[in-house]
Amino acid sequence: MSAQCHSGPPTVPVDPSTGTTLRTVALVGPPNSGKTTLFNRLTGLRQKVANFPGVTVEHHIGTVRGEDGSEIAIVDLPGVYSLNPVSEDERVTVDVLKGKMPGIGQPEAVVVVADVTNLSRHLILAARVIELGLPTLVVLNMADEMRKQGGSIEVLSLAQQLGTPVVLTSAVTGEGVDAILNFLNTPVAPPEPLGLPVLQSARGYRDWAVMVGTKSKYQRPATPVWTQRLDRLFLHRIWGPVIFAVTVLLVFQVTFVLGQGLSGLLQQGLQTTGEAISTRLPDGMVRSLLINGIWNGVSSVLVFLPQILLLFLVIGILEDSGYLARAAVIADRTMSRVGLNGKSFIPLLSAYACAVPAIMATRTIASKRDRIATILIAPFMTCSARLPVYTMFIAAFLPNKAILGPFLGLRAAAMLGLYVLGFLMAVITARLLKSTVLKSETAPFIMEMPPYRWPTAASLGLRLVDRSKIFLVRAGTIILTVAVILWVLTNFPMHNGKPPAIENSIVAGIGHTIEPVIRPLGFNWKIGVGIVTSIAAREGIIATLGTLYGVDPESHAMDLQAALRNELTLGGAVALLVFFAFALQCASTIAVVRRETNSWKWPAVQFAYMTIVAYVAALVAHQLIR
């Protein structure tokens, strides 16, 4: 599934028995109507969902086994408000529906997913899809929420007026999913043309939708009382910003304090296991490679998994509950003061996980210039690969002191400071771009507020499983490779069949070559090697130092943090953190920027700019603090 997300647009699979492509059914609907939750229910696949418009920016394909045993391909499309696309993700939807998407023929049937708590608006989209003339099923989703809020509708009457079957469903409880499967299995005749208003004005469409709704005795559900009450609190003149600030502080405090505790436990476990394996192996090169090289390098990165999962859990709860949309409203005033496009906020927000999906999410931005500007600043946002580096150096160099009682400690504050630093540099860069090469009008801030919902364990669990997979795959591929290469470089050239003293190894040679460049920043050659390997992936520096210190007999017995304190001054440590906050050390980001901008120009400009900014800022930091 994740392979689909990164290896070009997915295509419909071929049926091995007949050699033809599978029957295809497309899933269409407005953003945040629950299409992806429904898609996951139907296909058993697990795409990310959130209580947030615009989560799906690419189409995904899954299959359902029909009653006759044949498979049917289901295409989950990005949400659209109309069939008149303004941004690239909406164009994907329209292209698929009109059969213009390569790799996918025109779908045989369409399932329109509408949010029944807000019918008239969604009926207009449904009508436009029905007008395409494909066999259509109209799914009225979120039926459970509608009933809870005193809403109702006569489904049969609506079906008669639309000329298509209509079902009430709840993707969360599973209600009505059988009816959808039934539709997929039985071919339906294409609908008759609707008597849509001749004058295709927004007002005409709306009057039509209201008329259809009235004839089907549609009773719109009330806005949930809880949503109103919570909004009165979270958007309160004084309490709103206070709660926002406390929430941000708590995210960092929880991630740092609780995460450190869990990481400590994992570290002990990994160390004990490593020692146990070590005693069972005969002394020699193999043991050195396995334990000093691979085990030390990979496990020094692995210990940060609990902390990253904790961050994802906390932010996942904020996202799924609907609070994040309110936080965006509270933060918007500040965002508009610094001249940032309101819509840039959502892709930037998602960059806390990784710049790669954030850069892909810029497809929702209609203006090409705004899109490039957002792509260029996204890697300044603190991604989860920086988290281990930050944690490691902060824990090694800063004491564990409370600043605001239980709300904020010095270490969590330093972490927050680094996140703010990245954000500020993103903002400064945005201003610079907008006033020079990428001049454009700022797009208006228009944001739909989702109702508050309880985060489901399934959705949260899915995020954690996905994140663990990504993290473990990186540890098992990039980080493992880095550790092996480093072990080889530290153990050669051999001297009388024995590895050299570390100062005489190849890696020291490489390190000493780059040392003059980084000496002004307060870094020695070992840190320099770490910076080189972290160009592949940021957390590579930890594995590098883990391996280097593991091999070096002088620091072999020390833990990594104590070894670091031996190597760096406080000024050097701060310079390193600043360097990591600004530098573009990520091969996957460079690759995705090239793909999304379709040229090497932008990734090259971005890499050069970020490296220069990082170098100068680290130099300043080191000169100020040393």
Verify binding: residue 105, another protein, rule CB under 8 A: no
Question: What radius of gyration do the chain's Cα atoms show?
Answer: 27
Q: How far is the CB of 384 from another protein (least distance, A)?
A: 28
* Binding to another protein, residues 439-468 (CB under 8 A): 444-449
Verify binding: residue 200, another protein, rule CB under 8 A: no
Chain-centroid distance, C-alpha 207: 40
By the 8 A CB rule, do 581 and 389 touch?
no
In the bound state with another protein, the residue whose beta carbon lies nearer, of 117 and 533, is 117
CA distances from 258 to 162, 308, 310, 460, 464 (A): 55, 11, 8, 18, 16
User: To 10 degrees, the CA torsion angle through 24, 30, 31, 33?
Assistant: -90
Q: How far is the CB of 479 from another protein (least distance, A)?
A: 42
Q: How far is the CB of 444 from another protein (least distance, A)?
A: 5
In the bound state with another protein, the residue whose beta carbon lies nearer, of 102 and 444, is 444
Verify binding: residue 206, another protein, rule CB under 8 A: yes
CA distances from 211 to 162, 206, 207, 493 (A): 12, 8, 6, 84
Verify binding: residue 400, another protein, rule CB under 8 A: no
173, 182, 214, 336: which one binds another protein (CB under 8 A): 336
Q: How far is the CB of 161 from another protein (least distance, A)?
A: 19
Please choose, out of 40-48, 228-236, 356-364, 526-534, the segment that lies near another protein by the rule CB under 8 A: 228-236
Contacts of 408 by beta carbon, 8 Å cutoff, 6+ apart:
249, 252, 253, 402, 416
By the 8 A CB rule, do 346 and 54 touch?
yes
By the 8 A CB rule, do 355 and 385 touch?
no
**What is the total residue count of the chain?**
626
Verify binding: residue 84, another protein, rule CB under 8 A: yes
Verify binding: residue 401, another protein, rule CB under 8 A: no
Element (H, E) at 277: helix 259-280
Verify binding: residue 214, another protein, rule CB under 8 A: no
As a whole number of angstroms, the distance between CA 79 and CA 122 comes to 12
In the bound state with another protein, the residue whose beta carbon lies nearer, of 3 and 202, is 202
In the bound state with another protein, the residue whose beta carbon lies nearer, of 123 and 294, is 123
167 forms beta bridges with: 139
Q: How far is the CB of 456 from another protein (least distance, A)?
A: 22
CA distances from 8 to 77, 105, 213, 379, 468 (A): 15, 17, 41, 22, 23
Please choose, out of 76-84, 379-387, 576-584, 610-618, the segment that lies near another protein by the rule CB under 8 A: 76-84
In the bound state with another protein, the residue whose beta carbon lies nearer, of 120 and 490, is 120
Q: How far is the CB of 463 from another protein (least distance, A)?
A: 25
Verify binding: residue 202, another protein, rule CB under 8 A: yes
Verify binding: residue 366, another protein, rule CB under 8 A: yes
In the bound state with another protein, the residue whose beta carbon lies nearer, of 76 and 145, is 145
27 forms beta bridges with: 76, 111
As a whole number of angstroms, the distance between CA 340 and CA 444 comes to 10
In the bound state with another protein, the residue whose beta carbon lies nearer, of 99 and 204, is 204
Residue of 456, 463, 418 whose CA lies nearest to 256: 418
Verify binding: residue 86, another protein, rule CB under 8 A: yes
Residue of 120, 296, 283, 306 whose CA lies nearest to 208: 120
CA distances from 423 to 428, 440, 535 (A): 9, 21, 21
Strands (E), 346-442: none
Please choose, out of 259-267, 326-334, 375-383, 493-501, the segment that lies near another protein by the rule CB under 8 A: 326-334
In the bound state with another protein, the residue whose beta carbon lies nearer, of 59 and 326, is 326
In the bound state with another protein, the residue whose beta carbon lies nearer, of 333 and 498, is 333
- Count of residues in contact with another protein, rule CB under 8 A: 40
Verify binding: residue 17, another protein, rule CB under 8 A: no
Which spans of this chain sit near another protein (rule: CB under 8 A)? 81-82, 84, 86, 115, 117-121, 124-125, 202-203, 206, 220-221, 223, 228, 231-232, 235, 237, 240-241, 325, 328-330, 332-333, 336, 342, 366, 444-449
